[in-house]
């Protein structure tokens, strides 16, 4: 789908379909008929006002009616109620856009003039409405059915024209790049583990670098990681026939020599739990344990597309965690690239074992900031549910900036504490630290573990275990936290 902007609010003939908002007025007042609704009503010989008068249409949230126009102007005019405009949140606006699109998506015509961006609300500025409109429609159009013998019908191609002035063009371009990056993240997450292996992620890393002289991709194989002393990372993949990989994608869009920002993604392409094997129920969802990797690779795609003036390094630590006679065992001790030793008390706490070596590797880039992203702990879901990602950091100001980026992007995150009192839970009788800290504060102690390998730079950890995918009838990757990460890099640029 192509997106563009148009400034003229009364030019109804601009699209073969038009989406018009009908705002609900305050109690005791009539719903608000805008000039565009009046113009549409004249084209339809009073059909809109008749529908309102008869009670078939109102400004109630998502109340709607599709009118077919046989005369001049657009073929289809959809009027949809917005509710009281000042009660519209980002979430409700997103729902409104998707509801409107669902009603015309089967036959939108060659173009759609979407006027939902004209809704006057104190909660959302124009750029926010542009962002949410693009992301909502791209998400609604997303399909992952390439493995079905009878795929679903693909919606007709159409041009989506948003009513907004040219000052929103930069936001539109960024929103399209972000939405497409979320689709890449969804695709990588939804792919089955027999296809999306560490080697497959490495291939995608090379594809991101293809065609751009600003991007290079390096893939470290197991022998190279062995030489570097990445025994912690390598321990996770020892039980699998799939070789582990460290994928490094380097984008040089800023000043030469300027410190890069680094994103590190957990890329466990399937997590059986290893010897500490998981219960069988919903184990298929452990293909999503590489969604941290998918989100940082999606972010890199967006940054390349936007041609941002920033230096960015993406590091993906990828392995498959399987049980076998060669798999690491509870009680094993490994030396990390940093030289610190780790006692593996639970092989299902493997994400931190790959990330710690990746964080140490990130030191060589002398980074300005580092963010690691991982579906790391089930405890995060207990703490924050499926709506908000967790942020933990060794720098409160940096954590605040990430939460601010999440708020801008409607991809919310919340900071959890990481005081030194939690570090004692990682004490080991036999090594420098254990890889788990017990049931209490599991998300926090996981971040405390990672913080031991991020002492030389400004660092934050994003735990997206609750937000990276949905279960049940609508099971699938969400594309989060790509919007937050893209906005973070945009803010740095």
Mean confidence (pLDDT) of the chain: 95
Cα 489 to Cα 40, 76, 109, 116: the distances in Å are 42, 40, 36, 28
The answer to whether 375 and 445 are in contact (CB under 8 A) is no
Mean pLDDT of 324-334: 98
Which domains are delineated in the chain? Answer: 2-163 (3.40.220.10), 175-492 (3.40.630.10)
Q: Is the per-residue pLDDT at 31 higher than 70?
A: no
Q: Which pLDDT value is given to residue 28? A: 53
Among residues 278, 340, 368, 407, which one is catalytic? 278
pLDDT in tens, 441-484: 999 999 999 999 999 999 999 999 999 999 999 999 999 999 99
pLDDT category of residue 72 using cuts at 50, 70 and 90: confident
Tell me, yes or no, if the pTM score tops 0.85: yes
pLDDT category of residue 152 using cuts at 50, 70 and 90: confident
Among residues 76, 352, 452, 480, which one is catalytic? 352
Q: Is the per-residue pLDDT at 125 higher than 80?
A: yes
Q: Which pLDDT value is given to residue 13? A: 57
pLDDT category of residue 328 using cuts at 50, 70 and 90: very high
352 in active site: yes
Q: Which pLDDT value is given to residue 284? A: 97
Mean pLDDT of 292-310: 98
pLDDT category of residue 25 using cuts at 50, 70 and 90: confident
Give every CB contact of residue 233 below 8 A, 6+ residues apart in sequence: 225, 244, 246, 317, 319, 337, 353, 354, 356, 357, 358
Q: In the chain, pLDDT over 70 holds for what percent of residues?
A: 97
Q: In the chain, pLDDT over 90 holds for what percent of residues?
A: 92
Output phi, psi for 270, to 5 deg: -155, 135
Mean pLDDT of 247-251: 98
């Amino acid at each position: 789908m192509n997106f563009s902007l148009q400034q003229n609010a009364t030019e109804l003939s601009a699209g073969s379909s038009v989406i018009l908002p009908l705002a609900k007025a305050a109690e005791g007042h009539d719903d608000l008929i805008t000039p565009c609704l009046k113009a549409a009503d004249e084209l339809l010989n009073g059909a809109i006002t008749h529908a309102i008068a008869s009670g078939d249409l109102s400004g109630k949230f998502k109340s709607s009616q599709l009118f077919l126009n046989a005369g001049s102007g657009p073929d289809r005019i959809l009027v949809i109620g917005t509710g009281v405009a000042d009660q519209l949140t980002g979430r409700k606006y997103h729902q409104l856009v998707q509801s409107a699109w669902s009603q015309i998506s089967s036959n939108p015509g060659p173009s759609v003039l979407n006027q939902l961006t004209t809704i006057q609300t104190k909660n959302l500025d124009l750029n926010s409405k542009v962002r949410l409109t693009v992301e909502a429609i791209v998400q609604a159009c997303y399909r992952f059915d390439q493995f079905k013998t009878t795929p679903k019908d693909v919606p007709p191609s159409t041009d989506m024209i948003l009513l907004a002035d040219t000052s929103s063009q930069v936001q539109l371009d960024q929103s399209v790049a972000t939405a497409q990056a979320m689709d890449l993240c969804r695709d990588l997450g939804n792919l089955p583990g027999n296809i999306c292996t560490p080697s497959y992620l490495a291939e995608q890393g090379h594809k991101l670098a293809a065609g751009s002289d600003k991007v290079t991709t390096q893939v470290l194989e197991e022998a190279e990681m062995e030489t570097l002393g990445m025994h912690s990372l390598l321990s996770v993949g020892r039980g699998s026939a799939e070789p582990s990989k460290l994928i490094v994608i380097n984008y040089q869009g800023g000043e030469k020599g300027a410190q890069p920002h680094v994103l590190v993604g957990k890329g466990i392409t399937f997590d059986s739990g290893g010897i500490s094997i998981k219960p069988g129920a919903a184990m298929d969802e452990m293909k999503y344990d590489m969604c941290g990797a998918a989100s940082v690779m999606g972010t890199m795609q967006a940054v390349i597309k936007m041609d941002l003036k920033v230096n960015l390094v993406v590091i993906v630590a990828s392995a498959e965690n399987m049980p076998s006679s060669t798999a690491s065992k509870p009680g094993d001790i490994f030396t990390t690239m940093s030289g610190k030793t780790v006692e593996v008390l639970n092989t299902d706490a493997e994400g931190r074992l790959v990330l710690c070596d990746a964080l140490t590797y990130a030191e060589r880039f002398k980074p300005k900031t580092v963010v690691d992203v991982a579906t790391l702990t089930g405890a995060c879901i207990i703490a924050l549910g499926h709506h908000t990602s967790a942020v933990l950091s060794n720098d409160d100001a940096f954590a605040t900036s990430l939460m601010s980026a999440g708020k801008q992007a409607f991809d919310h995150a919340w900071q959890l504490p990481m005081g030194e009192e939690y570090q004692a839970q990682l004490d080991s009788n036999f090594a420098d630290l254990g890889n788990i800290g017990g049931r209490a504060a599991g998300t926090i102690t996981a971040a405390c573990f990672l913080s031991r390998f991020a002492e030389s730079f400004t660092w934050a950890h994003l735990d997206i275990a609750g937000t990276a995918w949905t279960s049940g009838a609508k099971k699938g990757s969400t594309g989060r936290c790509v919007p937050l990460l893209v906005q973070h890099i945009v803010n740095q640029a």
